[in-house]
Structure 1
Amino acid sequence: MTRHHGEIHRSGRAGWLRAAVLGANDGIVSTASLIVGVASAGAGRHEILLAGVAGLVGGALSMAAGEYVSVSSQADAEKADLALERHELTQYPDGELRELAGIYVKRGLQPALARQVAEQLTAHDALAAHARDELGITHELRARPLEAAAASAAAFATGAALPLVITQLAPPSLLNALVIPLSLVCLTLLGAAAARAGGAPAVRGALRVAMWSALAMLATALIGRMIGA
């Protein structure tokens, strides 16, 4: 007897995982950079916190709006393609059947078998077969604007809260000395976790996030110091 082994596929996570990782990463980087820049300019704790909160609210809403618009455009394109395919299936069923069989021939099936597969899939759900094999649209990877927007906003706010908490608790003289390294540690862990969730090497994901984030915070610290001076 053979035992069925379960397989874990990660492609279904692509939409929400991308939005969540991007949101959390941007929340930490942009808010920490904002705090570091304002602190380097010589502002007091109240002004620094005010700037950080404004950055959290504005950034979360901006991420949500941007993600919603972007994914909605993808969803609109998918709907238009499906509507066109539905029309063609109604008007030219024989031609669509030959087209589907041709796709399977190109993938390696013998013409007779490809025709048989196309006929059976067409009888079961013609639109789903063409959506998947002709257009590359599947249920798991369909664009979901609201889901992506909510994930981005929540992730950004969660990430942005970290440097704000550090700012609230840290002594003013040690603000930059604590915000930058602690934010980088969290970003490194986030990059590693995201890479692992997507099936990529954790070290590579952690290093690329940490490198670009460090550059962003150092740049804003330098600009803030120059303006403050």
Structure 2
Amino acid sequence: MNQTMNKDQVKTTVLSAFRFRHACKQFNPTKKISDEDFQFILEAGRLSPSSFGLEPWKFVIAQNKDLRAKLAPAAWGATEKLKTASHFVLILSRLQSGLDAHSDHVQHIINDIQQCPPEVAKTMTGAIANFQKVDFTLTDNERVFFEWGCRQCYIALGNMMTAAAEIGIDSCPMEGFNKKQVEKILQGEEIINGHDFGIACMAAFGYRAKEPRPKTRQPLEDVVTWKN
């Protein structure tokens, strides 16, 4: 926590960012996010938590106009954002082949990134394998396994949008696309190979073209249950 800010100031800052944030439908095409600010947003995604710390995500920044044009017909929910957003992010999740406990990626995370000693690495591998096979029964269905990775990608997405809002940058998360068609385009562009990653979601970042309507949410008492 910044030592110059007390707890109440931090609370006000964070909640103000949430109130500022909305699903921006159209961005101002003349305003661009600075490199420094976008690196801050990406760092918020990189530092996000994931199950067992496996970091299943990849962030593809689609700035190429030709790529955006190719994506538009397959992404009905992103048509205007692809045209006007300063930065457009494709958030990919690893498939089962890359998230299985014994996969190269998982072993790389355990041994090289987390730097677990050999015995700890062996224990971690066993714990992840048991979780995947027994606790969450992921290994029986490749799509369910993929969606497990996607759920973690949404944590990174949320953190990126909040980080953006905290510095006055707008965003819009999107699931309005045809998964199979988008992945075919990404394979054609050699962004994925069909056996490594799938598309989890999309997100546009930039500056709003106009002010949004007031935020609407259910009251807290309707969504929270206490059992003391």
Q: Identify whether the pair has TM-score above 0.5, normalized to the shorter chain.
A: no
Q: 1 or 2 for the larger relative contact order (CA 8 Å, sep ≥6)? A: 1
Greater helix share, structure number: 1
- What is the TM-score of this pair, normalised by structure 2? 0.30
TM-score (norm 1): 0.29
